[in-house]
Structure 1
Amino acid sequence: MKTDAGLKLDAYLPYRLSVASNAVSGLIARAYQDRFGLTVPQWRLICVLAEDGALTQGQIVARTVMDKVTVSRAAQGLLRRHLVARTAHHADQRSHVLTLSSQGERLYAEIAPLALAYEQALIEGLSADDVEHLKRLLLKLQARATELVDADPPG
């Protein structure tokens, strides 16, 4: 059934964002999986711990906007590989703090240049102003989407 209702999938911004995100994530995921045996959530967790230091899983959920189950599975996989260490939280015994192990720090130091090389390859042909503008727009879209989660549906 063909309709002229106005919605054209290829012009629909949420679809375009999703397709672009999937393409970029898929490209990078293959590199992390093939070379280092990591999933994208595991890589994100390693990166956040390298940048921010010790964090609880709840803090990682908030920082990465990944769901609790994804963070938990990523953490378990990294714990099994001794890439992160887990200690009891000093104030909340039900919670644990994750930190990169020395092995995890070495892996991060090896992967970070590869991640930056992929970023450079992806933005090749874009000006520095284009890249900064894109980053600002993505942050605005993310903030607006967060606002809309608790709002009444539009229309």
Structure 2
Amino acid sequence: MSDASGKPAPTLKLDSFLPYRLSVLSNAVSRKIADMYEREFEISIWQWRILAVLGESEGLTSTEVANRTLMDKPAVSRATATLLDRGLLSRTSDTSDRRKAALRLTKKGREIYNAILPRALAYEHDLLSSISAEEVATLHGLLTRLSHIASPDRDLWSE
């Protein structure tokens, strides 16, 4: 195949296309651990991400959760509504701005977070155990550098 100038048209080989590989790997990594918390706790990937963010930084608004997770606002809204209905989150309106509401884990939400957390950390350990400590540091450095290119206007995570 050639382009209008007669030069060979560029081809895309997905198996070597970095965005595709990162996406597929991310899905595979997420899916494996998601199977556990979906089966044992009836928590979706989206709900776990919200619990995890609030487990680390309570009192965030839905917008702040969306910004930290790069989830779209409707997905955050649906997952938050389910977590509120299940009694895993509480929402407290800001007295100075009623449009803002802080989200916090309830006791039940904290118990689920605390039950999943060691398993999530063990899974991370298993993933990283196949590479050296130096390679782990290099991997984190490379991911950070790529994140600055993919999202130049804001940090995707703090290190």
Please give the range of the TM-score, normalised by the shorter of the 2 chains.
0.7 to 0.9
Give CA-to-partner distance per residue, 1:132-153, whole Å, 9 cap, x none.
Answer: 22122112212211138xxxxx
State which of 36, 45, 48 in structure 1 corresponds to 2:41.
Answer: 36
Give CA-to-partner distance per residue, 1:24-50, whole Å, 9 cap, x none.
Answer: 111111111011111111111111111
Bigger share in helix = 1
Structure having the higher Rg: 2
Equivalent-residue separation in structure 2 for 1:111 and 1:67 (angstroms) = 24
State the TM-score, normalizing by the size of structure 1: 0.88
Paired-residue identity, %: 45
**1:4 shift after superposition:** 6.7
State which of 106, 117, 124 in structure 2 corresponds to 1:119.
Answer: 124
State which of 13, 16, 20 in structure 1 corresponds to 2:21.
Answer: 16
Secondary structure of the 1:87 match is strand
Equivalent-residue separation in structure 2 for 1:129 and 1:91 (angstroms) = 49
Equivalent-residue separation in structure 1 for 2:76 and 2:137 (angstroms) = 29
Supply the RMSD in Å over aligned alpha carbons.
1.9
User: What is the number of equivalent residue pairs in this alignment?
Assistant: 148
Give CA-to-partner distance per residue, 1:32-79, whole Å, 9 cap, x none.
Answer: 101111111111111111111111111111111111011111111110
Secondary structure of the 2:151 match is helix
**1:6 shift after superposition:** 4.3
Which aligned runs of 4 or more in structure 1 are off by greater than 2 angstroms? 3-7
Q: Which residue of structure 2 lines up, in the alignment, with residue 80 of structure 1?
A: 85
Q: Which residue of structure 2 lines up, in the alignment, with residue 49 of structure 1?
A: 54
Equivalent-residue separation in structure 2 for 1:69 and 1:134 (angstroms) = 32
State which of 73, 77, 98 in structure 2 corresponds to 1:93.
Answer: 98
